[in-house]
Structure 1
């Protein structure tokens, strides 16, 4: 079992000082957009409370990194965009409030793909986030700064957002555990939107137990240790159509499946005919972004009044101009394209549920991405991350092995219900068997 790292430190002052040094030593990765100027003062407060025997909660003095589209009161919230540098969050996002109440120290804001548009984290404010394992490669996106920060030890966990794979892809690239929870609109209070019907916020950590702890706290629940499931009672539905064509990844992937099989798991080959339709879907963010971001900008201070005014300023990555112009053409919901996308969400959810019921499947299993990065440019990850993103079901990626080039391979578990506790328990059982990274 991989040890938990999110344990309150005996001296939060030393802890924060060490993490700040790690951040300073890894500026070349472009993972961080800004550090909390009050971090050491908060660490001192935590230290004094511990000395007095009054720790705040399960995360007392634990540093965390937060993607820069999640509001932290009075801090900048830029989405990585030069045109939003004047924005200051009015209040904490709901998830940040709960983490602070549990004693966490929000240490820094993570770089990201500008506006969370991409599966590569490049922004006009922070440049390209580089993969700590191989800095010539992208760390993935759009939560790449969060992943790079955790992988290098700037903190032992971070928050990201996931609309189409933005937690799971960078976690797969960097050998981390990343949870995309089930879609719940009420959890997005204080999170800058990309897609009103697909956005989620979730934890990125070194192990399943840490991800489970953060998930519980973020959702206002009492932390409960994931159950110790026996894999011989589990039926996995393996989607071979999502394995991709990289021979190095396939070797690692099939070795991981053999380990699960050797531990008693039942692996059943599953075909989802609806995958062909998933490939053809246009992202709902094309239809939703302008409406969503305009509503969000109206609540902010010191920023542009609308997406149109931001685009007119020219203060963003020029390569996103065609995409932004396309988004500006859609200024209302319930267009035919939007209605079609929403209908497909229900179709995919029903198709997954039907396959699970027909074959008595507990969880679907496939590689998190079909291809790995070869440089700093984006590498299309395939359609696998969209299964959770479109259906609204929770999914988790965890490392299942390492290729000869040193890059990890991520295994994604897609729940067939909205039960994250079962998903985390199953992921913990898999992690114990794989011992992958």
Structure 2
């Protein structure tokens, strides 16, 4: 299993100085929208406490990146949108408050897909987030800035939000571990909404252990080391229809499945007849965004009055105008399309739960995305990320190999029901298997 990296530094000032040097050397990645101007001063305070033997928590002096739709008191809160460029957060989001209580330093705000709409990260404030190792390619989205920053070494961990794959897609592209926790409405306090039915917040890191650490902290739990399960006797449902047609990615995927078998796992081919409905379903965010976003704007003095005012200002990516205009027509919930989306959610949960029960499955596995990107433009990832997003179940992506060009390939594990602990233990076992292959 990979060595954890989220460890309190011996010298917090030196740590922040080193990370700032990496940030300053990589402006072309467009990974960040701004650096915390107080980061070095905060590091000095943590270093002073360390010298007195007073560690504040498991993240004492650890720098982290936070996606710019998550409120950090005193810092801008822009969602990548030019119309919100002057908006500043007055209080911390719940998850940020818990990170600070654990000793973390919020080093910078990550660029993102404007409003968190897209599966590549492009914003009117920050431009395109570029992949740190393949700069002509997108880093994915909508949490692409968080992923690019971590992959480039600007920090060892970041927070992103995931509505339809926004943590898992960029983590797959950049070779990171990304956890989408199950939906918990209370965890989203202080985070700009996209879809109340699907929004969640989670870690983007280098290892399953680090994902478990951040997950526990932001959920107010006591952190503990993940004990990998033995893959002997584990039964995994492989959803073959999600494998895609990218030959380079498929070769890595088949090798990953072979590795899991060699370690004792049983792979069961799964048919998912409901998948065409999932693929063709209209995203609930189309109907939920305006209602939730208008309420969020009203909580922030100095923000535009509502979504209509932002659209009227024209201060956003022009390519989003058709979508925003359509969203403006959705003035209330509980319309027939919204109810149909909620019904699909229930049916998908039931379908996955029954398949797991009948097959005695510990989880489902499939490639995180349908194919790797080939430009800065939007690369449709397939409907794989939507299985967790629509069902509300927890899912995690972890790297399972690279293509001949060195591009990372992610394997996603979805676990129906329950807490994330069993999913993390299973992911840790798979991570260990891949590291030994």
**If the length of structure 2 is used for normalisation, what is the TM-score?**
0.99
Partner of 1:108, secondary structure, is: strand
After the TM superposition, list the runs of 4 or more consecutive aligned residues in structure 1 that deviate by more than 4 angstroms.
none
Contact 2:119–2:141 (Cα < 8 Å) also in 1:
yes
**Residue-pair matches, total:** 437
Q: Which position in structure 2 is the counterpart of 1:410? A: 410
Matches within 5 A, 1:180-259: 180-259=180-259
Contact 1:147–1:171 (Cα < 8 Å) also in 2:
yes
Deviations 1:360-402, CA, capped at 9 Å, x for gaps: 1110000000011100001000000000000000000000000
Matches within 5 A, 1:7-406: 7-406=7-406
Distance 1:257 1:61 in 2: 39
CA positional deviation for 1:415: 0.6
Partner of 1:232, secondary structure, is: coil
Distance 1:420 1:53 in 2: 33
CA positional deviation for 1:418: 2.9
Distance 1:349 1:301 in 2: 39
Distance 1:229 1:140 in 2: 31
Contact 2:228–2:427 (Cα < 8 Å) also in 1:
no
Partner of 2:387, secondary structure, is: helix
Distance 1:427 1:346 in 2: 26
CA positional deviation for 1:419: 1.9
Contact 2:367–2:412 (Cα < 8 Å) also in 1:
yes
CA positional deviation for 1:192: 0.2
Contact 2:163–2:194 (Cα < 8 Å) also in 1:
yes
CA positional deviation for 1:303: 1.2
Partner of 1:106, secondary structure, is: strand
Distance 1:408 1:87 in 2: 36
Distance 2:105 2:239 in 1: 40
CA positional deviation for 1:436: 8.4
Unaligned ranges ≥5, structure 2 = none
CA positional deviation for 1:225: 1.2
Distance 2:228 2:252 in 1: 25
Deviations 1:11-30, CA, capped at 9 Å, x for gaps: 00000000001000111000
**If the length of structure 1 is used for normalisation, what is the TM-score?**
0.99
Distance 1:387 1:116 in 2: 18
Contact 1:194–1:288 (Cα < 8 Å) also in 2:
yes
Q: Cα RMSD (Å) of the superposition? A: 0.9
Partner of 2:137, secondary structure, is: strand
Distance 2:23 2:338 in 1: 42
Partner of 1:198, secondary structure, is: coil
CA positional deviation for 1:233: 2.6
Partner of 1:412, secondary structure, is: strand
CA positional deviation for 1:292: 0.8
CA positional deviation for 1:133: 1.5
Contact 1:227–1:425 (Cα < 8 Å) also in 2:
yes
Partner of 1:400, secondary structure, is: strand
Unaligned ranges ≥5, structure 1 = none
Distance 1:208 1:302 in 2: 40
